[in-house]
Structure 1
Amino acid sequence: MTLFTRYTAHVDAALDALTAAGTLPAGLDRRNVTVEPPRDATHGDLATNAAMVLAKPAGTNPRQLAEALAGELRTLDEVAAVTVAGPGFINMTLHDDVWRREIDAIHAAGADYGRSDAGAGVRVNIEYVSANPTGPMHMGHCRGAVVGDALASLLQFAGNTVIREYYVNDAGGQVDVLARSAHLRYREALGHKVGAIPEGLYPGDYLVAVGQALAQEFGDRYVAAPEDEWLALFRNRAVAAMLALIKDDLALLGIHHDVFSSEAELQAAKKPEAAEAVLRARDLVYDGVLEAPKGETPEDWEPVELPLFRSTQFGDDQDRPIRKSNGSWTYFGADMAYHYQKAEGADQLIDIWGADHAGTVKRIQAAVAALTEGKTRFDVKLVQMVRLLRGGEPVKMSKRAGNFVTLADVVREVGKDVVRFTMLTRRSDAQMDFDFAKVVEASKENPVFYVQYAHARVHSLHRRAAEAGISAEGADLSRLDTQELALVKLAAQFPRVVETAAAAREPHRIVFYLYDLAAEFHAQWNVGNDKPERRFLVPDDHGVTAARLSLAAAIGRIIRNGLSIMGVEAVTEMH
């Protein structure tokens, strides 16, 4: 139980007492009652909106209810003062020993400090990356990969059971193009002159090795053979090679999926037919004709009867075809079945998509709602593109890749931790610049450096203290004063930040919090530059040094826990 959940329970008990006394009617909905830090730290340590939320349904004055509730809260031993502000907000100030005990709680919990059971084991399937298996990972995939992986770790830390999934789009026309591109490289490997890569094929050098492997396995058997003899075979071999390449690239970022689901296997298993049958049984698929395209109608447009999903019943703009006129599945039809398959093994679904897929959100949400009868929560997190810069100038494309910057090249240049942390320094739906020069800059303006530097400082402090023969063992935390306890109050918010970030599906909140915590730690550290008695290490006062060492160790622990959720290593030295 965190400090905030403990005081939520205290507020709840106080409300029970008022109900028992007849001050409040029974059965009030308390779900919107919160206990959180006040916006202005001078108002106290904790604030609750209980009186504001409950006064109207209770038929009473919020200020009057707040005074009654404040009276109950003043009886708590840990509470030093309770005040009522404005129309009925309640602020509580806790005794300093509460915060000193929180330092002990951080040390006792260690790597589990901030861990929560709020997720209650609910199974959440998070699908992220899902890049077409037609080449190596590029930086267009990077941000979604990091956001998805960090969100998965965050939800696990908050008590959910998480399934990390990658959807392999291996049934569309793009993998046929891949097979033809591999065949070209296969012929090249056998000594045939192929010239410039034809328009429409994948030009990257990464397919050279695929062609060489095919040449070694099959010799010249398929050089002059008709396409229908080798297309499926080359497609399977090329997709397998690309998936191996993609997995290696993701591993450079520390990303490993639990499940790789194949679109081709999904269709072979008749999953789309099963989904269609379910929807027809509920009268949610019918045979109808799409409206003509808006604006000028093409001369060759003809009304064709198609099976249409009633997505407008679930908030979409129009009903959607699930099959094409030739009977094959539309992309939506296959995707609908895929989400149905995921929902069979999870209580909640989350998709991480590029912002260019925003137009398909409503229809997939409609399909999930229809297929699961509204029982499965489904969220889509849209991720904006990242603009790559070097010293403010756009980065040139990679020749090896053909037309993009590979993720592997970026990770090898600046490091996994820099890439991961940087991708989480803004909301995922906000535009981002990734400047190779700035992300490795040693300054406060670079959040990666600033947070890592705080942790390295903590490590350096303990090393120097050990050299001076000073330990935090048995520290008397009463030596910490109000200024130092302000840092503890911020540290104690970490468990609450974890829960709110998980509930909002927003891992960037952890990074924002870590930056604020690091800033406060650096600020207290820097006071010692002008006032030697305020330094964390005071050689002639072992008592105060031990207390500050314990405080610094608690800050270091929280930074490690937060970075661990982000998949970032907490460094002990800055180079």
Structure 2
Amino acid sequence: MNIFALFRDRIADAVRTMDLAAADGGELDLSRIQVEPPRDPDHGDLATNAAMVLAKKIGQNPRDLAQRIADAMAGDTDVSAAEVAGPGFVNLRLSDRFWTARLAEILDAGTDYGRGAAGQGTRVNVEYVSANPTGPMHVGHCRGAVVGDTLANLLAFAGHEVTKEYYINDAGAQIDVLGRSVMLRYREALGEDIGEIPEGLYPGDYLKPVGAALAADHGEALTKMAEADALAIARDAAIEAMMAMIRADLAALNVHHDVFFSERTLHADGARKIRAAINELTMKGHVYKGTLPPPKGQLPEDWEDREQTLFKSTEVGDDIDRPLVKSDGSYTYFAADVAYFVDKYERGFDEMIFVLGADHGGYVKRMEALARAVSDGKATLTVLLTQLVKLFKAGEPVKMSKRSGQFVTLREVVDEVGRDAVRFMMIYRKSSEPLDFDFAKVTEQSKDNPVFYVQYASARCHSVFRQARERFGGEMTADASLLHLLDDPGEIALIRKLTEYPRLIEAAAGAREPHRVAFYLHDLASALHAHWNRGTGEDALRFVKVNDPQLTQARLGLVQGVLFVLQSGLAILGVDAPAEMR
């Protein structure tokens, strides 16, 4: 239950009973009524702006109207106090019975608490990572992988039908370079001294096993066939090997895609899908023959001072029209993007989300324009850009990987600090902000390490149940019928924090901001640790009361509620909720 939505409806109902009329005779717009937590918890549990958004419309003083609303809400059996504050806010304090009833609902729902229907089953395609299959995943891919995967998990939890997709860039010049690089390693495996890797080829040692496998499978046969045929075999073997490596790297990060879409399928059968997509845009009036003025600054690769086939993207929100077919008849890279988007749209997705690196900022407007043109404005396209990750070790920059020859690999980071630390810290900052990742800090066991702090809260919850079993013997469990015994302000504050979770899920999913889940979990862990610490100094507040089994069972209900929400939120982040810390 989203208690903020619940009281928004109750306040709207109260306003309706007042028989208020708009000064101009029109209907009152109650949709602007909001209910939120007060900025200062001392002011109450809920705050509403109802009087402030309605007063001008009905010609009343905001504070006078706020008092009428407060008087009406004071009659609600779940409200213990209703007060007017500031220019016309109404602050509500809710009864302890209301809060303990919400805890009972949490215990009944378990880890499904907060699972929503806000998505209404809308179909969302989240494409993320989509790294070129030319080498191992690097740490830059790592952040996009975590952001995309967590967002997909969040949207599914909020009620969307989600598909996780990886676009394999297995066509184009970089794949030809990959094939030539593997052929070099193939010759090396046959015993040839290849010397220094030529400029422009991929130098990493990760291609040596691919070359060795080709030598084992084909012997010297590739050296005796036409170069184009040999390169085709090398390309296929390299792509297969690279994708196997990429899948394994992603699995180590607990990232698993539903669909791996090959770009080469768009170019198959004489680029049938690309031609069909351009024809579709043409029929809609979005394609024409023309020339483009030279852009300011550095010229892009797809610019030509000749007549080309152009996408009229400026008419659907772009800054400049985009080339689709070059003057020589070859397709631009963007033409494949068009075909790929059409394919997604025809698969029935209502929204397509692309998680891209910050260096892809120039793609945003053209892709948004493409979505409007293809779907006639019916489909939504969202692009999330992830900023760079800088690696440090005890404050010192981390050097490049020996294995890749160019960068630090994702697997090296996961192997050193663990999957959970990587995933949590990659999402513990808004994706549009740069991220400093320090190996030492993310592995230290202290409250200054967010992932440890949150996982320690999970372990502490489990330790309470172990302690209860030791003290009372047998299986000591929570009892929802005893929750009314919870009346300490710290206990009620913890319950209040738990009830924020459904609203948090709805808001984070709606804003496409999965980092909010990590922030919330850290706040919840902080609240648990603070209450735990109160119990260490005040015996009456301990979760396990040896001389009071009923109060213990009530407090175990509170601990179980915290654990359920921690488990739920950490599952969205793809992070374990451990029973103990070692």
Q: TM over 0.5: same fold?
A: yes
505 and 177 in structure 1: CA distance in 2 versus 1, 3 angstrom threshold: same
- C-alpha distance in structure 2 between counterparts of 1:289 and 1:435, whole Å: 49
Alpha-carbon distance, 1:520 to partner = 1.2
User: Partner residue of 1:500?
Assistant: 507
Question: Are 2:100 and 2:483, in contact at CA under 8 Å, matched by a contact in 1?
Answer: no
User: Partner residue of 1:328?
Assistant: 330
The residue identity in structure 2 corresponding to 1:481 is: D
131 and 524 in structure 1: CA distance in 2 versus 1, 3 angstrom threshold: same
The residue identity in structure 1 corresponding to 2:36 is: E
SS of alignment partner, residue 223 of structure 2: coil
The structure 1 residue matched to 2:391, chosen from 362, 381, 388, is 388
User: Partner residue of 1:449?
Assistant: 452
Question: Are 1:476 and 1:543, in contact at CA under 8 Å, matched by a contact in 2?
Answer: no
- C-alpha distance in structure 1 between counterparts of 2:349 and 2:572, whole Å: 22
- C-alpha distance in structure 1 between counterparts of 2:180 and 2:299, whole Å: 35
User: Partner residue of 2:81?
Assistant: 81
TM-score (norm 1): 0.95
User: Partner residue of 1:366?
Assistant: 369
User: Partner residue of 2:282?
Assistant: 280
Question: Are 2:169 and 2:263, in contact at CA under 8 Å, matched by a contact in 1?
Answer: yes
The residue identity in structure 2 corresponding to 1:545 is: T
User: Partner residue of 1:160?
Assistant: 160
User: Partner residue of 1:566?
Assistant: 573
- C-alpha distance in structure 2 between counterparts of 1:42 and 1:30, whole Å: 27
SS of alignment partner, residue 475 of structure 1: helix
SS of alignment partner, residue 222 of structure 2: coil
Higher mean C-alpha displacement, 348-357 vs 464-473: 464-473
Deviation string 1:164-212 (CA, Å, 9 cap, x unpaired) is 0111111111011111111111111222221121111111111111112
The residue identity in structure 1 corresponding to 2:274 is: P
The residue identity in structure 2 corresponding to 1:350 is: I
User: Partner residue of 2:219?
Assistant: 219
Alpha-carbon distance, 1:231 to partner = 2.1
Higher mean C-alpha displacement, 236-245 vs 530-539: 530-539
- C-alpha distance in structure 2 between counterparts of 1:56 and 1:331, whole Å: 55
User: Partner residue of 1:521?
Assistant: 528
1:347 aligned onto 2:350: yes
Q: How does 1:61-72 map to 2 (within 5 A)?
A: 61-72=61-72
The structure 2 residue matched to 1:532, chosen from 531, 539, 544, is 539
User: Partner residue of 1:244?
Assistant: 244
The residue identity in structure 2 corresponding to 1:472 is: A
User: Partner residue of 1:510?
Assistant: 517
User: Partner residue of 1:190?
Assistant: 190
215 and 509 in structure 1: CA distance in 2 versus 1, 3 angstrom threshold: same
The residue identity in structure 1 corresponding to 2:51 is: A
- C-alpha distance in structure 1 between counterparts of 2:360 and 2:486, whole Å: 56
Q: How does 1:49-448 map to 2 (within 5 A)?
A: 49-58=49-58, 60-268=60-268, 270-294=272-296, 303-344=305-346, 345-448=348-451
SS of alignment partner, residue 124 of structure 1: strand
527 and 296 in structure 1: CA distance in 2 versus 1, 3 angstrom threshold: closer
RMSD, matched Cα: 2.0
TM-score (norm 2): 0.94
SS of alignment partner, residue 378 of structure 1: strand
- C-alpha distance in structure 2 between counterparts of 1:288 and 1:57, whole Å: 54
- C-alpha distance in structure 2 between counterparts of 1:314 and 1:29, whole Å: 32
- C-alpha distance in structure 1 between counterparts of 2:495 and 2:127, whole Å: 37
The residue identity in structure 2 corresponding to 1:106 is: I
1:472 aligned onto 2:478: yes
Question: Are 2:313 and 2:369, in contact at CA under 8 Å, matched by a contact in 1?
Answer: yes
Higher mean C-alpha displacement, 402-411 vs 165-174: 402-411
Alpha-carbon distance, 1:315 to partner = 2.7
Question: Are 1:4 and 1:36, in contact at CA under 8 Å, matched by a contact in 2?
Answer: yes
Higher mean C-alpha displacement, 24-33 vs 201-210: 24-33
User: Partner residue of 1:485?
Assistant: 492
Question: Are 1:480 and 1:544, in contact at CA under 8 Å, matched by a contact in 2?
Answer: no
Gaps of 5+ in 1: none
Alpha-carbon distance, 1:395 to partner = 1.2
Higher mean C-alpha displacement, 272-281 vs 249-258: 272-281
The residue identity in structure 1 corresponding to 2:570 is: L
Alpha-carbon distance, 1:556 to partner = 1.3
Higher mean C-alpha displacement, 488-497 vs 58-67: 58-67
Question: Are 2:181 and 2:201, in contact at CA under 8 Å, matched by a contact in 1?
Answer: yes
1:458 aligned onto 2:461: yes
Question: Are 1:456 and 1:574, in contact at CA under 8 Å, matched by a contact in 2?
Answer: yes
- C-alpha distance in structure 2 between counterparts of 1:134 and 1:58, whole Å: 65
Higher mean C-alpha displacement, 191-200 vs 472-481: 472-481
Q: How many residues align?
A: 572
Alpha-carbon distance, 1:9 to partner = 2.2
234 and 30 in structure 1: CA distance in 2 versus 1, 3 angstrom threshold: farther
Higher mean C-alpha displacement, 200-209 vs 468-477: 468-477
Question: Are 1:152 and 1:164, in contact at CA under 8 Å, matched by a contact in 2?
Answer: yes
The residue identity in structure 2 corresponding to 1:379 is: T
The residue identity in structure 1 corresponding to 2:241 is: A
Question: Are 1:480 and 1:547, in contact at CA under 8 Å, matched by a contact in 2?
Answer: no
Higher mean C-alpha displacement, 287-296 vs 314-323: 287-296
Higher mean C-alpha displacement, 41-50 vs 57-66: 57-66
Alpha-carbon distance, 1:55 to partner = 3.5
Alpha-carbon distance, 1:2 to partner = 2.6
Gaps of 5+ in 2: none
- C-alpha distance in structure 2 between counterparts of 1:569 and 1:295, whole Å: 48
SS of alignment partner, residue 240 of structure 1: helix
Deviation string 1:284-312 (CA, Å, 9 cap, x unpaired) is 221111112436999xx972011122222
Percent identity (aligned): 53
- C-alpha distance in structure 2 between counterparts of 1:302 and 1:99, whole Å: 67
SS of alignment partner, residue 482 of structure 2: coil
476 and 452 in structure 1: CA distance in 2 versus 1, 3 angstrom threshold: same
The residue identity in structure 2 corresponding to 1:415 is: G
30 and 325 in structure 1: CA distance in 2 versus 1, 3 angstrom threshold: farther
The residue identity in structure 2 corresponding to 1:430 is: E
Deviation string 1:378-434 (CA, Å, 9 cap, x unpaired) is 111110111111111111222122211111122122111111111111001111111
- C-alpha distance in structure 2 between counterparts of 1:326 and 1:237, whole Å: 31
Alpha-carbon distance, 1:509 to partner = 0.3
The residue identity in structure 1 corresponding to 2:236 is: N
- C-alpha distance in structure 1 between counterparts of 2:501 and 2:146, whole Å: 21
- C-alpha distance in structure 1 between counterparts of 2:145 and 2:30, whole Å: 38
174 and 216 in structure 1: CA distance in 2 versus 1, 3 angstrom threshold: same
Higher mean C-alpha displacement, 261-270 vs 115-124: 261-270
Higher mean C-alpha displacement, 374-383 vs 316-325: 316-325
- C-alpha distance in structure 2 between counterparts of 1:16 and 1:2, whole Å: 22
Question: Are 1:479 and 1:543, in contact at CA under 8 Å, matched by a contact in 2?
Answer: no
Deviation string 1:437-490 (CA, Å, 9 cap, x unpaired) is 100111111100101111111111110111000543353532432232111111
The residue identity in structure 2 corresponding to 1:3 is: I
Question: Are 2:21 and 2:27, in contact at CA under 8 Å, matched by a contact in 1?
Answer: no
Higher mean C-alpha displacement, 433-442 vs 261-270: 261-270
